[in-house]
Structure 1
Amino acid sequence: MRSFFCCVSVSCFSVVAAPVFAADLQVQSKIDAVTVSPDAAQVTRLADIDVPAGATTLVFKGLPAMIDPTSLRVSGVSGAKILIGAVDSRLAIPEVKPADASFDVKLKTLRSERESVQVTLDALETKRAMIAKFAQSDSAKSPADINSFDADKWNEAWDAVGVAMAKVGEDLHNAKVKARDLDEEIGTVEFNRQKPTQQGEPARDVSVAIEADAPTKGQITLSYRIASAGWRPVYDARLDTGDQTKPPALELVRRAAVNQSTHEDWTDVALTVSTVRTNRGTDAPDVQPTKLDFLAVPEVMSDTAAAKAAPSAAQAPAPMPGVPARVPGAGAVNAGARVQLPMVEVGSSLDSNAYQAVFHIPGRVTVPADGTLKSFMTGTLTLSPGLMLVTSPAFDQTAYLQAQFKNDESVPLLAGPVAIYRDNGFVGTGQFTATAPGDDVTLGFGADDRVKIVRITLKRKENDAGWSSNAQNKVDSREFKTTLKNLHEFPVRVLVTDQMPFAENAAIKIEQVATTPPPNAKDVNDKRGVMNWQIDLAPGEQKEIHLAYRMKWPADRDVVFEPVPQAGSVQ
């Protein structure tokens, strides 16, 4: 088999141009392989072809409209020499489906019937008005006329008017009910009437011009990049805390959660997930120089000077085409500014590539185009973690179990949610931060209710006389006690983290009073004022930590406690 390959963008030509009257041959292709990135997918289609000698245009019809036309690539193999010419991509707008004519016929009939009912309503209203007018005219006769009128005839007249009014009222009621029913039916038909609609979604047709030396059969490959697809890492972390006969063990399951809404199902395909983000950009932003200068104070001009300085409408220069007129007071636009994309750490791949990780999903899989999230296992790690309890009693008087381990894989652990299991029980959902190979990982495994933590305030005293307190200064002294007790039948180590405030203003003084026991570390992770203690507790043992400090500032000033969050401080 001879191979043929062409790597061309939309509407570009190879060295051999196809004849003008090339025959069109619609090919039936299927998706064979997909490589999914976090923000896009590379789709590869295969099609068997049987072409005559000479020029032929292969047409791939009905591909998704959201294909990136510049990513189209064509290659293949055949029994004879084939040259590839132009690759064209066109949007195919579906035909408009006409509305159902039966709705229009029914509407015409209903509206005609409604008009007839309206004529009846108008006639009955007129008849009722005439009867009422007749009754009013009789009552307007003079007393002499009334006395000369026979009483029996009065009764007959009243009965005639009453019967006539009752009959007209009943006919009007029936006509109004019929009119209301017709109005409702017309509204229902108008609501349900089909509007002209497109038959299906817009699609893209791709044409490939080829020229064969002889009649031949072969297989052609079409690949393209498409958005509305992606994947994200998810993990299962299953911790066996162990006992006196076996050490703790951690099983970490790595998964890829894939979904796509590309308007084409990926059925029975070879699926690969890659860590490369195709929409991030390819180079670092261009850094422009920045000048620091004094703020120019605008000179206030008198009305006469401003009128002389301002150009007339005829003298004012016209704005350049495509450039918006400058608005007074609007800031200048930095032409060199670029959109800053978030940085994402990319580690080495399973095939020893230093810039990406690629996971090949075993077998062939199906991913529907309806956005359904499908999860595939990409690997399992069995680790021997170190266990420790951690607590921050100033914010939460609970001890939490933590596992520490090293990422010994050649690929990074990407940021993503982690389903946490401890001793076969689901604890909650944690979060991995991006961790490079060889880095340490810390993962929480829920609360330990058998280690009791209690933090109380022993002293909070203002204007303490023991530290240069006078009318010019305010002094605030505080002391806290944290009690830890181990209710387990085995020893535990607890890492207690607490903090005292710091000040950057020289007028505010903060002094740490004797703390027992002294902390093992201060300014933990470069966070000022944060300290921790490592406390070992035997079974049933109880220990205490005392933290005390005092603050002094000018009496004529008020102070405020402000949290100072630092980047990277949240696991």
Structure 2
Amino acid sequence: MKSEVAQTQGWASTLDAVVVYAQGALCTRVARGTVPADGRVRVTGLPRSMDPGSLRATAAGGNGARVTEVRVEVAAGPAGTEDTGSLRREMERLRDVHAAARARRDRQAGLIGETAALRPVPPAREPGDPPRATPADAWLRLAAFLDARLRAQQHRLTELEEELRRAEHDLAVATDRWTRASTDVPSDDIATSLVAVVTLDGVDTAAGPVELELQYGVPGAVWAPAYRLTHRRGEDGGTLVLRASVAQRTGEDWTGVRLALATADLRRRTDLPKLRSLRLGRRQPAPTPSGWREPPAGLADLFSGYDAAGPRPVPVRAAPG
């Protein structure tokens, strides 16, 4: 009875890794559970945007299990609505986080402006006083102090700007989710989802649960590189930072997954080239074609229908009038 219930409910899967290509992405999901007696497992959690023809499944671990069949089915169930109240509270919380990050960034920028405005001011000269010597050493020490202070403050400003960008991204995602949930009007009470039906063979029940890895391709994912070169005046080198901007509308949450990037095209054909044979040795002239070729297949049956029709009828001539 327990195996039947587990088979009906299916195994819940978790998104483990994503490889983003120039167009599209290759996702890897992991599911774990006990295989029923018939060896057929239903894995849930697949996105509706996936390509059914790209689904692959493998059995991980040393329990001797192997996948003999995998296919995609459409499952139907009651439609659920996302709580707009929790989404609104999350959006308001991220709005406060964004405001605090912006305030810290602006305060740090103000400190940099105050530090950069520091200038050496000599004391006022009274009438009749002799000219004073210029304190060059003091000016140089002040310039070195300001340079070190500005360098540390600029590094802190870079960190605060990155924190502000992350807060803006999180706020934009939360706002979009709240907008979609608040304006969504369900057309019916039935929702459909994709389920992977995996058939396993050679399962050792004494070895414990079986772990499955499912790979599938999804469209709607791209990435673009961004380069940032930092060089300070007076230094011999600089810092080159490579960043990647990833955008996806696959219907899945990629938070906390292992992410990799590839410049190849996921949908491009990668067939192996056909290599022509090479003959090593002294070159010989090509043989002269003989002009004879094999008769086509089925030539003997070409007139079988005519022969089966019987003798040809004799025409009857009309008597002269």
Structure 1 length-normalised TM: 0.26
Structure with more strand by fraction? 1
Q: Rg: which structure is higher?
A: 1
Structure 2 length-normalised TM: 0.44
